[in-house]
Amino acid sequence: MQIGQAVSADFYFCDYDMENNEQVIQDCLEALRYSGMTVFETVKHEFDPHGLTFIAVLAESHFAVHTYPEHRYMAVDIFTCGSGNPISTIEELRRRFRPLEHEVNSITRGVKVFG
């Protein structure tokens, strides 16, 4: 048994206009919903001259994305405890943002809670 799963992804050399922050947010929200996650609240911060941090509080836990358009790089973090599929969220984001390279890491959380 486990409490949850933490998944992080690094997207390198994205073939996507990450300077359009509203489209990035919309694509992230659609990817979360596609994966069966429920979004409760969101917050965003737009950096000057570019870049975005977007965080969503989920029924399943939370999601964060950080964009660096000047490097064509995106960092994604998802923690889930319950339903929802963070790996399918990452795959949907990869399909949308089209990185030339990507790395995905997953950590099982809370294993010792159940002995």
Q: Is 61 designated active site?
A: yes
Active-site residue (options: 8, 62, 81, 106):
81
CA distances from 31 to 1, 15, 35, 55, 97 (A): 27, 17, 6, 14, 11
Active-site residue (options: 8, 62, 66, 88):
66
CA distances from 66 to 16, 24, 54, 60, 110 (A): 14, 10, 7, 20, 26
CA nearest neighbour of 89 among 31, 24, 8, 12: 31
Active-site residue (options: 14, 28, 35, 61):
61
Q: Is 14 designated active site?
A: no
**Which contacts (CB < 8 Å, 24+ apart) does range 43-50 have?**
46/21, 50/18, 50/19
Q: Is 81 designated active site?
A: yes
Give catalytic residue positions.
61, 66, 81
